[in-house]
Structure 1
């Protein structure tokens, strides 16, 4: 079974499985398709993280996030008065990490050659795809980002108009880059014409990137971190991703018995634990290769017990304002194969359409993940040479008795850690199936307001207002979820694909 946010991606995963590929083969083939058909959400110019549970055992993790250029120091930017680069700035672009990660995942855990796995994405990029409803929605709502770069405007706003739902859209230059990766592996992206073209474009805009920065990019196999929740072990990738924050929140949710609360109480308590955990995130989370991140302390009973007395079940605490960039875009997918190999895979270009910086010769749209750095010296997450920024994307894996039982992921930038807690509370605490758990109304406490989807019941909204929450009803959906639950007793798979996206869960 596979669950993704786009029908063509899910179909590609299923076809890969039916052709004898394993779950990692299916995930790589599917995410490559998503990099073509969901250009606002992901692309080869972005990053990825993955959890892989071989034969249903405990997961291993891969950090495929990119690094800052070797010349990028906080002092360099401070001397020039740059404290927060624009989302479209070359200084917001770190070296894309996902292609190197795909190659490593294929070599370490795949069974089929990379050129075979990339074939569906190459065909779709060359022959074109029909724009689906959510893709069209994201496209029309982010035209300003595309208009900021002449090359992006020419490619993604053909004839000066936004492609509409049902339009055919082709990406021939991207097809050629995918072919180069299929032939040469990571060298097809990080060396030669593709890398040289990206570096030239960034440097023409004032970027500090060099060919050596691209050549140095490597994904890293890491040990996942975990906590206990509702009789299960929940695994996340370690920092620099914010999976740690999801685990901290799960510990609080367990102690507060979040799953058994009324709807209004659940939303309120989720908002309060979000404020506490995200404050810790913005204080401590950074690249552990360069900064000591106190993972054990933040997952300890002492930290959780220090937070609990500050949570008032009837009153909202003062808002915690984050100076991180709030909302970003991503795709996630979950796959389980016939041998119980399980994959949770997330690929992202951060903002909708990333930085908007487009390289026409290679068809690469670059992410702007560097916005998550602090650009002033002295903070754990300050930009530094070769450093990876705080990362929002977090694949998840639920295990029971040493066996993987549910790969899952929740898209939505900063929301993702909160989304993990909400989704797992629904599945493991309230007994909802993955689809129902995903479909429930979402809320997110951020930047001094409580964002709520319009499907939240009016009486619940009024209850929350009475507790002191400043309510902001959202005009766009909050996040997106993809999951596959393994029912071992019955030998069945249950998939959930978020109704907020275009995707579907399919099995055979």
Structure 2
């Protein structure tokens, strides 16, 4: 991929970041020497290994793991465990996990779907009896089986080198001794406390005297340390079949919930084949549904038919074509993406170049799509998150994403365990006949997606952009920034982002887009472009913070040198050795 010279660093304090998000259309500061914009700092470059996570301490744990002989997978697991302690606003062992791994030994990519299923004793009839038309965001009803710990052990068995107890040891120590809370995390923690304090176990385990910890304040979680020690001693079964599962069972029985010991004990994740499309010579890889990764591939296929060599970054034409492609892909996302065990999606057709050409023909250069219907195949075979990536001296690269879903999850925190259960079940539709309709033992539609890019069969970039429906939009923007606009790895993440909202959703929250939705733009896009969008008929708004969180590693295919980039909008760090 083309590489450009990076530009100087800008301030990264939260207040400034939030102000930046609000000032839509303001001129972006340019480097005094080069005149270039966007990059907050240089790419991090290292010869042996690289890690990029949303917390500097987690990044250091990943590097220490690889320096001690661990693989990139050991480092990813160690960093993920640390983030569950240090960034509980986005992830933890009460959530799910997805990963794409480049294995240098077999010279191929592997995918893992570590998502959990709905409780088998909770039926659609129960929601109907309660008079609900949507599953609540918090409390016991949206809780599904947490898949992260199972995913750790499945991935470790295939790709790990160090003992799991060694991978978990740094987090256990930080959980007992404490660590200072980072700035952005403190902000979101403070926002979560009022919403979740009503649920049993939350205040006792996730507040300090009823409030969120403040920036720089030492946070300890000895209960989580005990849980991780039990997992380190007893493996995955200590979590799914031991006292931890029994504690979860008793907790939900006492609090009008349905997640049971049997649900935990019967859980297993799935190895899946990543799917790809070729975008101007680069193979972009995602995981198939129940996640939304193929929406990024659909968007790229549509956009490939336009000549971006003559369309400038940030121009009205660039923004317009991106938004229209997103609307088309998301109409299919709402119709087809669900648990393939219940409603298989026609993935091969959805990501085909032929179908993309049909959809591309619906885009007008002088008007906007107000309403978009999903495509019909010729025949049927029918939030908050963390993203991290690691790469080691052997050439293994891990693209890993993990989440509790909405903020700190359901708020349900079983006593003595030190973690919160996810509320991913909120993503189900309470409507019979929909592919994503609720059913016992079913995986909900998932938003979290890891990304990967290869070229000529060789690994190039492991990357992700967390943040609900922003994720496929973010993946497409990163790929376009690298391929179409020739940006460097850090610059590609720092460039101002586009977020289109209010498409038809697969969750029943928006029955059908009829007004074209809304375009939200970060600081840095020219006023002329924004005016151009409005003249075409787009509704443009400013928004604070829905633009996701990015981490990435690029491997030079000739030298093996790693380049790292980290999200300037968060607390994170890319580092290598």
TM-score range, shorter chain: over 0.9
Residue equivalent to 1:415: 470
Kept after mapping to 2: 8 A contact 1:349/1:367: yes
Contact 1:61 1:222 in 2 (8 A): yes
Query: How far does residue 320 in structure 1 lie from its aligned partner after superposition?
Result: 6.2
Residue 437 of structure 1 aligns with which residue? 492
Equivalent of residue 361 in structure 2, options 309, 330, 334: 309
Tell me what 1:94 maps to: 144
Q: Distance in 1 between matches of 2:482 and 2:301?
A: 16
Distance in 2 of aligned mates of 1:270 and 1:49: 26
Moved more, 402-411 or 263-272: 263-272
TM-aligned CA distance change 1:176 to 1:287, over 3 Å: same
Shift of the alpha carbon at 1:314? Answer: 3.0
Is 1:113 aligned to residue 182 of structure 2?
Answer: no
Higher helix share: 1
Larger Rg: 1 or 2?
Answer: 2
Instruction: Return the match for 1:392 from 447, 461, 469.
Output: 447
Residue 231 (structure 2) pairs with residue 181 (structure 1): yes
The answer to whether the 8 Å contact 2:192/2:407 transfers is yes
SS at the partner of 2:520? strand
Are the aligned partners of 1:86 and 1:92 in contact in 2 as well (CA < 8 Å)?
yes
Please say if residues 24 and 110 of structure 1, whose CA atoms lie closer than 8 Å, have aligned partners that are also in contact.
yes
Distance in structure 2 (CA, Å) of the matches to 1:341 and 1:272: 36
Shift of residue 321, structure 1, vs aligned partner: 11
Which residue is 1:247 aligned to? 297
CA root-mean-square deviation: 1.7
CA distance in 2, matches of 1:2, 1:220: 25
- Note the residue ranges of structure 1 that are not aligned, 5 or more in a row: 323-327
Per the TM alignment, residue 24 of structure 1 is displaced from its structure 2 partner at its CA by: 0.5
**Closer/same/farther in 2, CA of residues 353 and 378 from structure 1, 3 Å limit:** same
Matched, 1:504 2:573: yes
| Equivalent residue, structure 2, for 1:325 | none
Q: TM-score, normalised by structure 1?
A: 0.95
CA contact (8 A) 1:64 1:101 kept: yes
Moved more, 104-113 or 252-261: 252-261
Q: For residue 285 of structure 1, what is the aligned residue in structure 2? A: 337
Q: How far apart are 1:79 and its partner, in Å?
A: 4.3
Indicate whether 1:299 and 2:347 are aligned: no
Is 1:151 the counterpart of 2:201? The answer is yes
CA distance in 2, matches of 1:401, 1:340: 16
After TM superposition, list the pairs within 5 Å mapping 1:38-77 onto structure 2.
Answer: 38-55=87-104, 57-77=107-127
- Structure 2 contact 384–404 (Cα < 8 Å) conserved: yes
Distance 1:229 1:406 in 2: 14
Runs of 4+ in 1 over 6 A off after TM superposition: none
Alpha-carbon spacing, 1:147–1:429, altered in 2? closer, same or farther (3 Å):
same
Matches within 5 A, 1:84-483: 84-258=134-308, 260-262=310-312, 263=314, 264-318=316-370, 328-447=383-502, 448-483=517-552
Q: Equivalents in 1 of 2:351, 2:172: separation in Å?
A: 43
**What TM-score do you get using the length of structure 2 for normalisation?**
0.84
Deviation by residue 1:125-156 (Cα, 9 ceiling, x = unmatched): 11111111111121122232232324212332
Counterpart CA distance in 2 for 1:387 and 1:137 is: 34
Task: Note the alpha carbon deviations across 1:258-296, whole angstroms, 9 max, x for none.
Answer: 575231222221111111111111111111112121111
